[in-house]
Chains A and B, each alone.
Chain A
Amino acid sequence: MANGNDLLDTFYQECEDLLVAMDEGLRELSEGESDPETINAIFRAVHSIKGGAGAFDLTELVRFSHRFETLLDELRAGRMTAEEDLIEVLQFSGDHLGDLVTAARNGEESDTEATERNLGLINKFLGPEKSSDEEVEIEFEPVSFDFDLGLATGGAGRHAITFRPTRDVYQLGHEPFRILRELAELGTLEVTLDASEVPTLDDLDPEENYLSWSILLETESSDQAIQEVFEFVDGLCTLEIRPEGDAAEGAALDTTPFDLAAGSGVSAATTVEPVPAPVEVAAAPEAPVVSEPTGSEPAPPPAAAEAAQAADARDKQGKQKAKGSNASIRVDLERVDKLVNVVGELVIHQAMLFQALENMRLSSGSELATGLDELSQLSREIQESVMAIRAQQIKPLFQRMFRIVREAGAATGKKAVLETAGEMTEVDTAVIEKLADPLTHMIRNAVDHGLEAPDKRVQIGKAETGTIRLSAAHRSGRVAITIADDGAGINRPKVKSIAIEKGLIPADADLTDAEIDNLLFLPGFSTASEVSALSGRGVGMDVVKNAIQSLGGRVTISSRPNEGTSFLVSLPLTLAVLDGMVVEVAGHPMVIPITAIVETLKPPKQDFHGLDSSDWVLSVRGTYVPVVDVGAALGFRTAKDDPTNSVVIIIEDEESSRTALLVDGIQDQRQVVIKSLEENYGHIDGVAAATVFGDGRVALILDPSSLVEQISRVGDPSNGTRIAMEERHAATA
């Protein structure tokens, strides 16, 4: 096969989509939606995976998906009902199919033991794999062009063939000449044309056939091979194949499907009149030329055929439902990334051009300035389009979590269901990829540590089955993902005592509820009194937090006793560019994401209340907002005594709490290209990333919420970050 690997990649990409569709269907099924469309969508996904796997010789995948498919087919045909135990096996099978695809994709050994175990489960419903199934498996060796001819083989020698195509044989594109030529490849031909049926020119319809042929074929090929040549015109001709001078073999052939008047022999066959349209021919039961399937494969009962037709119709609907009508293409992510980078450069260079123009002090109405304005408009559009290409629905990621909940529930003996919302929320591809691990961990935690045991839940009057809610939404220009359980909530006294025990906090620490909750994020913290097999993998919430921070995101926690715990993960929409307000802080340019900014103010001094800048609050139209002096918070200078010359930027975080950032001035509003600080330097609290301006200056992009959080946590803004900043200066120096 040409460019096999490339093709294989395409196949695996398809598998991903198919597995998502399958999982979705299985989930709907488990939620009680056992309508034909749902079942058919699952069936089609498994079926397509099997089809592709067969083409690539992935035998175990083919074998497993075949049995899985057979089970689904039973369900589809209504021979089984979607009872709980069957659904469970289907879900396990779906999970295992996903594992097999992953193993094949990574070139790893698949877990044959698991395959056998799973097949065992399937066999409980289907009975043991029968030999007929094995035959079907053979069909999936990449050779078959199979028609069930039910023929005896053998029969080398001379054959007398009469080939009389119907009048309309050309309608479907048949060409008797090609059949003769193909026949010639089997041996030596002696062909006699019978043109006696050709009418006079007036009556002749050039699109119809009036010719027939008598052929003497001398060949070593089997009868089957000869029959195969006529395979496609079966039903569109009268055909007679007789071994020359061997009456016995001729009789044997009479039972073949190609014996047109089945059972009645040659004479009947030769008297059949051509019938008007092949479409009707095949369908009309009274037409003698139709060769009903005979031999080893009995004709399916009409009901089955109807079911198949109905299934076709449903199949179509199901697919429409699943796929919608949007055309799409697949593009290598690398190419998109390249585009993103180039567009990023474009934005930087454009900024440089603007800068140069400004330095030239041309009037704003000049042609050059107008042109540049247009250019910037266009490049913004390009950029947005590129970002849209990278955006993906979060759905596939969410889909994976159903399995995690299922597995975690099974491993811990908890009963849990996952509810998702906002699956259509679009997020940058890179974010989705990197979110998989932390999200998996949080979901596992929610089941393992969040939910109570079923009997306990019943005892306190909750539903036996706990619910994990996973939702995504766009909020304040970011993506907010919530993972909430309806469990016991954080056991704060226990958390606190563990933290004291581990020396994470002093024994006399006086912590608020929120502070105690946040202890979970400290490195080395684990609430599980014994390390459970599931969550205790040496990965704590601190790792989750770091992973999310490295995406420019934040994670916050909230919990209510007996009502549950929820984690809010807030992520940037994209990792590439950002609209920012350039402000000046202690002589340094800094960028604040526009999306976080509510308003900018220059309030009079009397609006500031408090003793000094570390506990100032600002009165904004009657409400008090805490003030953070950015320059002091980042350690550039000590806190201001007088806010008069400062500008206040009111920001709002995902939880709608507002803070007033104190900066020295506003310079500009522009789009900046995000350059990761994590990758190039390391994480600094309060700083999301860095950027390069058109004039070559480097500026920090602030992460306002984290800045605020850090200030409130540390209390004294002058420690912690200052050290980080000094290190940064040392590093850049």
Chain B
Amino acid sequence: MSRRVLVVDDSASVRRLIVGTLRMAGFDPVEAGDGEEALAKARETMPSAVITDQNMPRLTGIEFIRAFRQMPGSAGVPVIFLSTENADAVKQQARAAGAIGWMTKPFDDQKLLGVVKKVLG
């Protein structure tokens, strides 16, 4: 199984943090700075998993997940939703949009890997 993980966050520092951690753990992360870029990247090659932020320009995380779920081949691709807010409403929206689970920012490498392994194996 491919270990390509699409990392979507408008904050370059958070993105690089995630990408660095994933890469060291043997995953193959791909970066996108916003929802639209992420959709384009997913269209090129469907990733095995997606990690996306909520607060982003152009498309919010939830909007991106909704659009992503419309793409053929996205069924079964786990999407992890990142949020700095601990608001249940937002998490439920993300779930409704098609996220498999969520992670509250900030997180450490272990937590991140734990969650990614939880959904990607």
Contacts and interface: CB of A to CB of B under 8 A. Distances in A.
A172 B89 contact: no
Interface stretch (A186-194, A311-319, A412-420): A311-319
Nearest to B49: A173
Given A52-B14, A55-B105, A293-B88, A172 B100 contact: yes
Contact of B100 (A1, A139, A174): A174
A235 interface: yes
Contacts of A411: none
B79 A320 contact: no
Nearest to A229: B118
Contacts of A293: 88
A202 interface: no
Interface stretch (A43-51, A259-267, A485-493, A691-699): A43-51
Give the size range of A's interface with the partner. Answer: 35 or more
Contact of B11 (A14, A300, A305): A14
Nearest to A309: B93
Contact of A325 (B58, B89, B95, B115): B58
A316 B59 contact: yes
A144 B56 CA distance: 22
B93 A7 contact: no
B119 A315 contact: no
Contacts of B100: 172-174, 232
A297 interface: yes
Given A1-B20, A171-B76, A279 B96 contact: yes
A305 B85 CA distance: 13
A333 interface: no
Given A14-B13, A48-B11, A145 B104 contact: yes
A497 interface: no
Given A144-B104, A308-B90, A181 B95 contact: no
Given A308-B90, A309-B93, A315-B60, A172 B106 contact: no
Interface residues of B, number: 54
A621 interface: no
A10 B17 CA distance: 10
B43 interface: no
Contacts of B63: 316
Contacts, number: 155
B108 A142 contact: yes
A700 B37 CA distance: 50
A51 B98 contact: no
B87 A316 contact: no
Contacts of B96: 279, 282-283
Contacts of B57: 316, 319-320, 322-323
A172 B14 contact: no
B117 to A, nearest CB: 8
A316 B118 contact: no
A1 B17 contact: yes
B121 A172 contact: no
Contact of B37 (A207, A232, A327, A330): A327
Contact of B103 (A145, A283, A305, A322): A145
A216 to B, nearest CB: 22
Contact of B75 (A207, A316, A319, A322): A207
A182 B87 CA distance: 26
B58 A320 contact: yes
A566 B98 CA distance: 59
A278 interface: yes
Given A7-B17, A293-B88, A178 B119 contact: yes
Nearest to B103: A145
A127 to B, nearest CB: 20
B84 A173 contact: no
A11 interface: yes
A50, A51, A299, A320 interface centre (most CB from chain B within 10 Å): A51
A51 B119 contact: no
A373 interface: no
Contacts of B37: 327
Contacts of B89: 300, 304-305, 308
Contacts of A455: none
Nearest to B75: A171
B79 A173 contact: yes
B75 A11 contact: no
B5 interface: no
A207 to B, nearest CB: 7
A2 interface: yes
A10 B31 CA distance: 15
A143 B14 contact: no
A7 B13 contact: yes
Given A44-B55, A283-B96, A319-B58, A142 B107 contact: yes
A11 B13 contact: yes
Interface string B69-88: 00000011111000010111
Contact of A232 (B21, B58, B101): B101
B99 interface: yes
Given A170-B76, A316-B57, A175 B121 contact: yes
A542 interface: no
Contacts of B13: 7-8, 10-11, 14, 52, 55
Contacts of A170: 75-76
Interface in A115-161: 136, 139-140, 142-146, 148
A148 B89 CA distance: 13
Contact of A55 (B12, B14, B54): B14
A175 B75 CA distance: 12
Question: Which 8 residue pairs across A and B have the least CB separation, nearest first?
Answer: A173-B78, A232-B101, A319-B57, A55-B106, A11-B13, A54-B106, A10-B13, A2-B20
Interface of B: 11-14, 16-17, 20-21, 24, 33, 37, 49, 54-60, 62-63, 75-79, 84, 86-90, 92-93, 95-101, 103-109, 111, 114-115, 118-119, 121
15 contacts: A54-B106, A145-B104, A145-B107, A170-B76, A172-B79, A173-B75, A173-B79, A174-B78, A207-B76, A279-B98, A283-B96, A293-B88, A312-B54, A312-B62, A322-B57
Given A7-B20, A182-B118, A207-B76, 20 more contacts: A1-B20, A6-B16, A7-B16, A7-B17, A11-B11, A44-B55, A50-B84, A55-B13, A142-B107, A144-B111, A145-B115, A148-B86, A171-B76, A232-B101, A300-B87, A304-B89, A316-B58, A319-B55, A319-B57, A325-B58
Interface of A: 1-3, 6-8, 10-11, 13-14, 44, 47-48, 50-52, 54-55, 136, 139-140, 142-146, 148, 170-175, 177-178, 181-182, 207, 231-232, 235, 278-279, 282-283, 293, 297, 299-300, 304-305, 308-309, 312, 315-316, 319-320, 322-323, 325, 327, 330
